[in-house]
A and B are shown apart, each in its own frame.
Chain A
Amino acid sequence: MKKQLLVLMLPAFAMLSCGGSKEKTEKQAITIKGSDTVLPLAQMEAEKLMKQDSSITVSVIGGGTGVGITALLEGSTDIAMASRDLKTEEALKFSEAKKEIEKVLIAYDALSVIVHPGNKVSQLTREQIEKIYTGEIKNWKEVGGEDLKIVAYSRESSSGTYEYFKEEVLDDKNYATDVLSMPATGAIVQSVGQTKGAIGYVGLAYQTKSVKQLAVSYDEGKTFIAPSVAAAKDKTYPISRPLFFMYEKVNSEKVKSIIDYTLSEEGQKIVLEVGYVPLK
Chain B
Amino acid sequence: MKTNYKKFQEKFIEGLLMLSGTVTSLTVLLIVVFLFSEGLGVFNKKPIDDDFNLTIHAENRISKLSPSQVKNIFDQKIKNWKEVGGKDEKIILFKIDDISDFYTDDQLGKDFKNLSWCINDYIVKHRGVIAFFSKKYISKNFKGKILDVDKIKVSEFLSGDEWFPTARPVAQMGVKPLILGTLWVSLGAILIALPLGLAAAIYLSEIANSRIRNILKPLIELLAGIPSVVYGFFGLVIIVPLIQQLFNLPVGETALAGSVVLGIMALPTIITISEDAMRNTPRAMKEASLALGASKWQTIYKVVIPHSASGITAGAILGIGRAIGETMAVLMVTGNAAIIPTTLLEPVRTIPATIAAELGEAPNGGVHYQALFALGCILFIITLVINLLVEFVTKRKTLSKH
Contact = CB atoms under 8 A, between A and B. Distances in A.
A57 interface: no
Interface in A67-113: 87-89, 91-92, 95
Interface residues of A, number: 37
A195 B338 contact: no
Contacts of B299: none
Contacts, number: 98
Given A158-B360, A183-B331, A177 B76 contact: no
A180 B255 CA distance: 12
Interface in B226-252: 229, 236-237, 240-241, 244, 250-252
Interface stretch (A17-25, A149-157, A238-246, A255-263): A149-157
Given A156-B336, A181-B357, A190 B115 contact: no
Nearest to B71: A174
B250 A195 contact: yes
Interface string A239-275: 0000000000000000000000000000000000000
A182 interface: yes
A50 B353 CA distance: 37
A161 B337 CA distance: 17
Contacts of A181: 335-337, 349, 357
Interface string B248-292: 001111000000000000000000000000000000000000000
B96 A89 contact: yes
A88 B332 contact: no
A197 B250 contact: yes
A191 interface: yes
Contacts of B166: 157-158, 163
A110 B74 CA distance: 27
B347 A190 contact: no
Contacts of B106: none
A174 B75 contact: yes
B229 A92 contact: no
B358 A187 contact: no
A78 to B, nearest CB: 22
Interface in A149-196: 149, 151, 156-159, 163, 171-174, 177-183, 187, 190-191, 194-196
B206 interface: no
Interface in B303-334: 331-332
Given A134-B75, A151-B251, A194-B252, A177 B332 contact: no
Contact of B347 (A87, A91, A157, A180): A180
A64 interface: yes
Contacts of A15: none
B112 A158 contact: no
B88 interface: no
B332 A198 contact: no
Given A157-B165, A174-B167, A95 B336 contact: no
B251 A195 contact: yes
A88 B96 contact: yes
A180 B99 contact: no
**Residue among A91, A149, A182 with the most chain B CB within 10 A?**
A182
Contact of B337 (A87, A95, A178, A190): A178
**Residue among A63, A89, A149, A163 with the most chain B CB within 10 A?**
A89
A230 interface: no
Contacts of A8: none
Contacts of A5: none
B229 A190 contact: no
Interface string A123-138: 0000000000010000
B164 interface: yes
Contact of B250 (A91, A171, A196): A196
A148 interface: yes
Nearest to A70: B363
A148 B337 CA distance: 19
A102 B36 CA distance: 43
A272 B63 CA distance: 53
A151 B250 CA distance: 7
A35 to B, nearest CB: 11
Contacts of B357: 156-158, 181, 183
Given A190-B237, A195-B252, A179 B97 contact: no
Interface in B328-379: 331-332, 335-339, 347, 349, 356-358, 360-362
B229 to A, nearest CB: 7
Closest 6 pairs (CB-CB, A-B)? A158-B361, A180-B335, A149-B250, A151-B251, A156-B357, A95-B111
20 contacts: A64-B361, A87-B97, A91-B112, A151-B251, A156-B336, A157-B165, A158-B357, A171-B76, A172-B74, A174-B75, A174-B164, A180-B251, A180-B335, A180-B337, A182-B336, A183-B331, A194-B244, A194-B252, A197-B250, A198-B251
Interface of A: 1, 63-64, 87-89, 91-92, 95, 134, 148-149, 151, 156-159, 163, 171-174, 177-183, 187, 190-191, 194-198
